[in-house]
Amino acid sequence: MQDLNDILYFVQVVEHGSFTGASRALGMAKSQLSFRVARLEEHLGVRLIQRTTRRSHVTEIGRRYYDQCRLMLAAAERAQEVIDDAQALPRGRLRVACPVMFAQLLLAPVLVGFLRRHPDVQVDLDICHHQVDVVANGYDIAFRVRASVQDSSLIVRSFGMDPQMLVASADLLQRIEPAQQPADLRHLPSVSTISAEGRHFWTLLDAAGHAQRVEHHPSLVSDDLQVLFQAVTGGLGIAQLPRFICREPVARGQLVPVLPAWSLPPGNVHAVYPSRHGHTPAMRCFIDYMAEHLPDMLAQAQRGAPGGDVKPLLAVA
């Protein structure tokens, strides 16, 4: 196989238009450069550059060979970048945006493990009560918990499902007319997370997967899961909450499923970021670490918190 350096010298001669120009750009003697290109021609058995006493020009086969050589050299550079990136230590600052409930319940313990493994990385974690514009606000990555992400300008990495439940306190259900169908929920008291559209809906699925969308009018709106959890257990209204938050309170009779024959579309934990390319080693390590550990954290949450109580998780800052 031919020497890649000889190919590089040939490409430089073509791109600079002469041996003289290429020798200046490469910082090597013109005679040495001419020797290396001649050696390449001898190896290939073709004339790539036709030389005369006054000038030289690229032959037809030389031009076609040059086009392929450029691709070959670009591929070699990309291959070297893989090695350079793998050997580079992750360091520097990452700006991360995250909903408060996700940060408290799932991200915090994973983030601690990541920073222990990579002590030269600093994470600026912005707890957001609304969906942020990743590019405009200069974030490296943002987490979103929803069924899907529609922004085609962002790269989306999904880490697992977050099943939901519609629940209320036993005390509240004794004070109101029980719902028999999704439409009965319209006028019942409720609490809810913040809605970007300003209106609040529950989407319920029957056993066949047919959906009914019901508008409700919450008396309390918040993106703080602890606030909503306390509001529901305090009898303020019906709420849609993650199943892992509800499991133990339902088992104790503190909360009661509403319309248990109907299900809710699960949320999905997504990470979104601007591009697949040009990431720092810190960013690549962060994404890989999240992909390795977040699904396990979600699975643990679905099985229930240690000790069977959600309150210690809710207290994590």
* pLDDT computed for residue 260 by the predictor: 93
Q: Answer yes or no: same fold for 92-162+267-314 and 164-257.
A: yes
CATH 3.40.50.1220 given to domain 4-87: no
**Using one digit for the tens of pLDDT, what is the confidence trace for 163-212?**
889 999 999 999 998 899 999 999 899 999 877 678 999 999 998 989 99
Residue 312: per-residue pLDDT: 34
CA 317, CA 315: separation in Å to the nearest integer? 6
* φ/ψ (deg, to 5) at 182: -55, -35
Task: Spell out the domain ranges in the chain.
Answer: 4-87, 92-162+267-314, 164-257
Identify the pLDDT of residue 308. Answer: 37
Q: Name the CATH code of domain 92-162+267-314 (choices 3.90.226.10, 3.30.70.360, 3.20.20.100, 3.40.190.10).
A: 3.40.190.10
Write a three-state SS string for the chain. CCCHHHHHHHHHHHHHCCHHHHHHHHCCCHHHHHHHHHHHHHHHCCCCEEECCCCEEECHHHHHHHHHHHHHHHHHHHHHHHHHHHHCCCCEEEEEEEEHHHHHHHHHHHHHHHHHHCCCEEEEEEEECCCCCCCCCCCCEEEEEECCCCCCCCEEEEEEEECEEEEEEHHHHHHCCCCCCHHHHHHCCEEECCCCCCCEEEEEECCCCCEEEEEECCCEECCCHHHHHHHHHCCCCEEEEEHHHHHHHHHCCCEEECCCCCECCCEEEEEEECCCCCCCHHHHHHHHHHHHHHHHHHHHHHHCCHHHCCHHHHCCC
- List b or e across 43-61, with b for residues whose CB sees 16 or more CB atoms inside 10 angstroms: eeeeebbeeeeeebebeee
Banded pLDDT at 146 (limits 50, 70, 90)? low
> For the segment 97-144, what is each residue's pLDDT rounded down to a tens digit?
988 777 877 889 999 999 999 999 999 999 876 677 888 888 999 988
The mean predicted confidence, pLDDT, of the chain is 85
Mean pLDDT, range 238-247, rounded to an integer: 87
Q: Which fold has domain 164-257?
A: D-Maltodextrin-Binding Protein; domain 2 (3.40.190)
Share of the chain above pLDDT 90, in %: 47
Choice among 13-17, 140-144, 305-309 with the minimum mean pLDDT: 305-309
Note whether 145 and 102 are within 8 A (CB): yes
Say what the pTM is. Answer: 0.55
